[in-house]
């Protein structure tokens, strides 16, 4: 009898308490995860891992770690934090069910994610320059500008409305003989070579086609080259996910700096 009870107990432990729903997992992947990892589990870039054919237990463990914050990544923490336990099990099971790729092919970006709605604002130098951010790890410096719509709302203590546009110039920092960034009289890194422009703006309906787990109201994001052209292959999903937790500050990381700058004028 004891042996039978022991076997019965082992059977209970070995039997999954939740049967994953592959169709629900596929729906979640199609709506959100495919923006980076591809609908077939083959990612959109070399910097993002393929998930097709990975072990279920491994995928579940990683998603739980992203969710509870024991593993750090601003994009995956934001996405994982919105997933329930059923979502995690379903997504993991679906990716595990897919055949592994050959390692060479990459998935296409979601059309609605790849679409660039932002025009480059040629007059941005007439806007409010409200922040300057040194990035020691990258040896870069960024200068941020806000258009009149954004500045007026910030001055009034309001959320940034439709028509708001924030733009950042990204420069390499000038390096000294020790290969470390040189600081100017203001204590900030001295800008050297212009590398890119980063931008975010919103208009009515711009977020309509984005999945809810990514949507930042109606904000859209863009990266422009030094020649002021949209950067090819830019994945807006990464910006949307990273900014998602900033909903209380109009989805910006620099909103408090904007408020301080315009109210000090």
pLDDT tens digits, 9-22: 454 444 455 589 99
Rounded distance between C-alpha atoms, residue 168 and residue 143, angstroms:
5
Banded model confidence at residue 6, pLDDT cuts 50, 70, 90: low
The kind and range of the H/E element at 225 are: none
pLDDT at residue 34 greater than cutoff 60: yes
114-263: CATH topology is: Chalcone isomerase (3.50.70)
Position 7 scores a pLDDT of 47
pLDDT at residue 43 greater than cutoff 50: yes
Position 262 scores a pLDDT of 96
Strand 191-202 relative to strand 219-224: parallel, antiparallel, unpaired?
antiparallel
Banded model confidence at residue 3, pLDDT cuts 50, 70, 90: low
- The CATH architecture of the domain made up of 2-107 is Orthogonal Bundle (1.10)
Rounded distance between C-alpha atoms, residue 96 and residue 90, angstroms:
10
Banded model confidence at residue 8, pLDDT cuts 50, 70, 90: very low
Position 19 scores a pLDDT of 84
Banded model confidence at residue 103, pLDDT cuts 50, 70, 90: low
The residue behind tokens 């001055």 is: 155
Provide mean pLDDT across the span 72-84. 95
Tell me the pLDDT of the chain averaged across its residues: 92
Q: Which of 28, 98, 19, 23 is nearest to 63 (CA)?
A: 28
Rounded distance between C-alpha atoms, residue 171 and residue 157, angstroms:
30
Q: Which of 65, 54, 68 is nearest to 25 (CA)?
A: 54
Provide mean pLDDT across the span 114-138. 96
- pTM, two decimals, is 0.88
pLDDT at residue 32 greater than cutoff 90: yes
Provide mean pLDDT across the span 43-59. 95
Position 52 scores a pLDDT of 96
Cα–Cα distances in angstroms (integers) from residue 224 to residues 117, 121, 203, 229, in the given order: 12, 11, 19, 5
Contacts with 6 (C-beta within 8 Å, 6 or more apart), sequence order? none
pLDDT tens digits, 191-233: 999 999 999 999 999 999 999 999 999 999 999 999 999 999 9
Q: Structural domain boundaries of the chain?
A: 2-107, 114-263
């Amino acid at each position: 009898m004891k042996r039978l009870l022991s076997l019965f107990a082992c059977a209970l432990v070995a039997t999954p308490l939740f049967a994953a729903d592959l169709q629900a997992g596929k729906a979640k992947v199609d709506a959100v995860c495919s923006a980076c990892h591809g609908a077939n589990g083959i990612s959109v870039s070399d910097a993002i891992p393929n998930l097709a054919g990975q072990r279920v237990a491994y995928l579940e463990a990683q998603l739980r770690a992203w969710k509870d914050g024991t593993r750090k990544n601003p994009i995956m923490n934001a996405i994982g934090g919105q997933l329930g336990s059923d979502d995690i099990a379903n997504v993991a099971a679906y990716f595990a069910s897919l055949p592994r790729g050959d390692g060479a092919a990459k998935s296409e970006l979601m059309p609605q994610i790849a679409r660039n709605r932002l025009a480059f604002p040629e007059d941005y130098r007439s806007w409010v320059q409200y922040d300057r951010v040194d990035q020691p790890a990258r040896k870069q410096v960024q200068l941020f500008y806000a258009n009149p719509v954004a500045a007026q709302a910030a001055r009034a203590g309001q959320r940034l409305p439709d028509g708001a546009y924030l733009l950042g110039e990204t420069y390499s920092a000038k390096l000294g003989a020790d290969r470390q960034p040189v600081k100017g009289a203001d204590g900030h890194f001295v800008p050297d070579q212009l590398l890119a422009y980063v931008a975010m703006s919103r208009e009515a309906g711009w977020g309509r086609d984005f999945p809810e787990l990514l949507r930042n109201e109606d904000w859209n994001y863009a990266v422009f080259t030094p020649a002021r052209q949209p950067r090819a292959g830019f994945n807006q999903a990464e910006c949307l996910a990273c900014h998602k937790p900033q909903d209380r500050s109009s989805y910006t990381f620099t909103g408090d700096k904007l408020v301080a700058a315009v109210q000090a004028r």
